[in-house]
Chains A and B, each alone.
Chain A
Amino acid sequence: MTHNHDVNIIVAGVGLTPVGEHWEKSLRELALEAIVSAMTDAGGLKPQAMYIGNMLAPALSRQSQLGALLADFAGMRGIEAMAVEAGGASGGVALRQAYLALSSGLVSTAIVVGVEKVTDRVSNEVLTAQMTSSDADYESVHGVTPTAQAAMLMRRYIFEYDVPRDAFAGFSVTAHANAVTNPNAMFRRAIKPDTYAKAGIVSDPINMFDAAPLADGAAAVILAREDVLPGKLPHPSIRIEASSTSIDAVAIHDRPDPLVLEASKHSLDEAYRFSGYSAEDIDLFELHDIFSIYAVLSLEAGGFAKKGEGWKLALEDQIARKGSIPICTFGGSKARGDTGGATGLYQAGEATLQLQGRAGENQIQDAKVALVQCLGGTGATAASHVLARVDTG
Chain B
Amino acid sequence: MELSTHWRVKKQRYALVGEVCPHCDEKIFPPRDICPDCGNEARDTYNFSGKGEVYSYSTLYDAPVGHEEQAPYTVALVQLEEGPMVTAQLTDLDEQQPEIGMSVEMVTRKLRADGDRGILVYGYKFRPVLSAI
Interface residues of A (CB under 8 A from B): 123-125, 127-128, 131, 135, 137-145, 147-148, 151-153, 155-156, 159, 202-206, 249, 251-254, 258
Contacts and interface: CB of A to CB of B under 8 A. Distances in A.
A156 B77 CA distance: 10
A372 B112 CA distance: 38
A137 B30 contact: yes
Interface in B75-115: 75-77, 84-89, 100, 111-112
B56 A155 contact: yes
Given A137-B30, A155-B100, A156-B100, A143 B67 contact: yes
A143 B63 contact: yes
B59 interface: yes
B97 to A, nearest CB: 11
B132 interface: no
Contacts of B88: 142
A143 to B, nearest CB: 4
B65 A144 contact: no
Main secondary structure of the interface of A (DSSP, over half): helix
Given A152-B76, A155-B56, A124 B62 contact: yes
Interface string B18-38: 000000000000100000100
Contacts of A205: 58
Contact of B75 (A123, A124, A128, A148): A148
Interface of B: 5, 9, 30, 36, 55-68, 70, 73, 75-77, 84-89, 100, 111-112, 121, 123
Contacts of B70: 143
Contact of A142 (B9, B65, B85, B89): B89
Contacts of B36: 249, 254
Contact of A251 (B55, B60, B87): B87
A315 B56 CA distance: 25
Contacts of A142: 75, 87-89, 111, 123
B100 A124 contact: no
Nearest to B73: A143
Nearest to A251: B87
Given A124-B68, A156-B56, A145 B77 contact: no
Contacts of B56: 152-153, 155-156, 159, 258
Contacts of A128: 64-66
A106 B100 CA distance: 54
B87 A123 contact: no
A202 B75 contact: no
8 contacts: A127-B64, A127-B65, A138-B30, A143-B112, A152-B57, A155-B58, A252-B87, A253-B87
Given A137-B9, A152-B76, A203-B60, A143 B66 contact: yes
Contacts of B112: 141, 143
Contacts of B9: 137
A145 B84 contact: no
B100 A145 contact: no
B127 to A, nearest CB: 14
Given A142-B123, A143-B73, A203-B59, 11 more contacts: A124-B63, A131-B64, A137-B9, A138-B87, A142-B75, A142-B88, A143-B66, A143-B67, A147-B60, A156-B56, A252-B85
Contacts of B60: 143-145, 147-148, 151, 203
Contact of A143 (B30, B55, B89): B89
Contact of B87 (A125, A127, A139, A159): A139
A89 to B, nearest CB: 21
A196 B131 CA distance: 40
Given A143-B70, A152-B57, A203-B60, A124 B65 contact: yes
